[in-house]
Structure 1
Amino acid sequence: MEAPHNQTVASSAQTPLILDTHQQEELNDDTLLNHSLRRLETFLRIFGFCQYSVLSFTLSWVLFLLLGVALPLLAIELPRCSDCERYQIKSFELEILVSQSLVAAISLLCISRNLRKYGLRKFLFVDRYHGHRAQFREEYLQKINGFFRLLAVWLLPCFLLRTAREVIHTVYLGNDSWWQSVATFFALLVPWTYSAIIYLSGSALFNLVINLQVIHFENYGKLLERDLDVSVYIEEHTRLNHHLSKISHRFRIFLLLEFLFVTASLFVSLIETTENRGIINFTNGGNFAVCCIVELLGLIILLHSAAKISHRAQSLASVTSRWHALVTCNSNDASQRGMSNNGGGLEAAFPAGPLPINYSESDLDSIDYVPVPTNTQLASCMSSYHKRQAFVLYMQCNLGGATIFGWTVDRALINTIFFVELSLVLFVLGKTISFTTTT
């Protein structure tokens, strides 16, 4: 009599262990996600994005003004040689300093404002109220780690190119004092690296927010595989569009200002290099190339991320249309089985009156296996079909996407921007470059 009791005690003792193991795995996943978020927040705090208090706000902007503006300005203004083309080099470097400081200041201002207002978790939509779910934790970790990889992959080549330019520039100036050359070298390279990291971090952070939402948009197709009510699909799509509209609202000023200032900087560089009558080489004009590359990289990351989420959102209309077609064609309810093979409608397949009773002997043999559709089945079939049809129409009329003051950032807008920019470039080249012929 004691053996069953002991087995019951043993089984009841093992059940909490299984539950504890499962809970321990979830806690480990949460710990990894929290660690990645803390690492990201530490990185943002080092470069002054986390301005949660008056002290951190003051320190961030004082450091930016000293390291990003004052130090390189001092290095440019200090005389280094008397017989080189100092004025030309100085004018180029001053314009480059203004350009890189403005785009970095915009990134620091817009991102820090959003982080101060929402916090990192709500800003990334990974809190428990905006999609922090167990099945997405691993993908969240991959996207957060991808933020650092993206920043390193794009920044490292530009850093090496800038370093090579500064080395050549220092050798070309030929200062008598080696310590002054080394000090000038670091006074120009370190502030540039600091400003470039701030600028590209803003673009990479926008890309991270978009990639985290792409996870949910790609999961929407898996949600359709579940046999749920249409209202659940509409509710989930509404939630995704609501989050996307929040992202567009938070980043619209950032996207617009970065685009305008980067465009203006590129045109100033184009005018300076085409109107200059002197010799433009890697020594005096190399910084223009490096600056333009960095600014274009940040702008490409922004436009590519916005276009990617717009296309994911717009592709849901085709996904739901395909789902509706497959469900309709593969339906095995009585109404579908009663349809005629020649493509007749439900009215022809299921007449309103009674079915004919003059069956043949072969029909009588199998009549027990042929279900007779009822008005309830027919109404259920039509109701389900019309719900799906209304859902597909809803998806086609609510495509969504990342917007800038109502303009959806997709391939059409990017093509328009490209051709407008190309027209402006050709216009500037036509005004600055002229060829003369002598007879």
Structure 2
Amino acid sequence: MTAPAPPLPGESHPLTAIPSAGVPQVRAGRRRRFVLSPADREVLWLYLLVRLSLWTTAYCARWVFPPRDTRRPASVLSSWQQWDWYHYRDIARQGYFPDGAGPWLEHWDNREAFFPGFPLAARTVHLVVPSWTAAGLLVSFVAGAVAVLALARITRLHLPDRQAPQRAVLFFLLSPCAVFLAAGYTEALFLAFALPAWLAAQRQRWPQAAALACLATSVRVSGLFLAAALLVHFVSSWSERPHRLRPLPWLVLPVLPAALYSWYLHWYTGDWMAWKHAQERGWYRDFHAPWEAWSNTWRAAFSAEQHTGYAFMCRAELLAMVVGLALLALLLRQRRWPEAVYLSLTLWALGTSYWFTSVPRSTLLWWPLWIALAAWSVRRPRFAPVYLLLTVPFTAAFALAFLTGRWTG
């Protein structure tokens, strides 16, 4: 069963006593306004400290690990100009098919594999920020702050302990792939829409949840998985309140960005699934059975056929998949069906390519994982230091691998 909705600000709920710490409180008759509680400010302070740590690491990386033997370091922002960022920048600057170019060319970069939400946000910020890299970083910085606030508030709905939200955010921000939350990538922006959408659904605010999930879908196809989870959550809630069917049509809204993007690509290329076929051409994301994907990833990780860096990342892919399956088992055991639907669809999408790709990065989007870790840390005081001592070295290694252009996963 889905947890009952928490009380609205200023109200009491007869069926639950979920703490309302961090939820904006208003007096009756006054207009609601967004207010940061002391707990919210603590979370934002923690977020800023972690961001400063990552920016310091990026600054040092350009001095200690230059791309070649040189007496002058690269530019301050050069460490963030890596890998997929060039796709997002080129889409924001040139569009998807500049000067008639497209997948019919031999050396096409397959940029249509990326949904338009983040490039549109970067292009908008670029109107006032001259540097494309700085514009992308600013989008992720603001989006990350929204995401951690929403994660903390979702955690409060599940865990009554006052320290649990801050611990969930800490585990999240110091996870191995946390560097992608700070980079000009889609993870932070997706979470800035997806987590508030989930929070709105917990409070039975379905139009708001659907609108935010719609924005999340414009950033990543994972928004469709979120939409499926919202539908399951709505059905679970409807069984308790069968007279409330009016919000149901809103839940179609998150499908709209994917449909419009597919139509746009079909108009240019004649292919309704051009974004999926671009992923297949550029990143080997054609369909394979899950056991084939596991076997191919295992062979790349342990057969000594790949360079050490790539083999290491393939091992990280395998470990992240195991973590995802363990989390799915936990969600099913706890009968948290909506979250289980979201995670199972995500794992299926990631686990049916030629080999596993970007599974460690995807852990950033599994908000039940960070809530579960916070719950364990509340029950077992030694868990938090053990987790941090074992995880932070991988976080530093992954950050340096990305910031120095050595990321291979």
TM-score by length of 2: 0.32
TM value normalised by structure 1: 0.31
Structure ID, larger Rg: 1
* Structure with the largest fraction of helix: 1
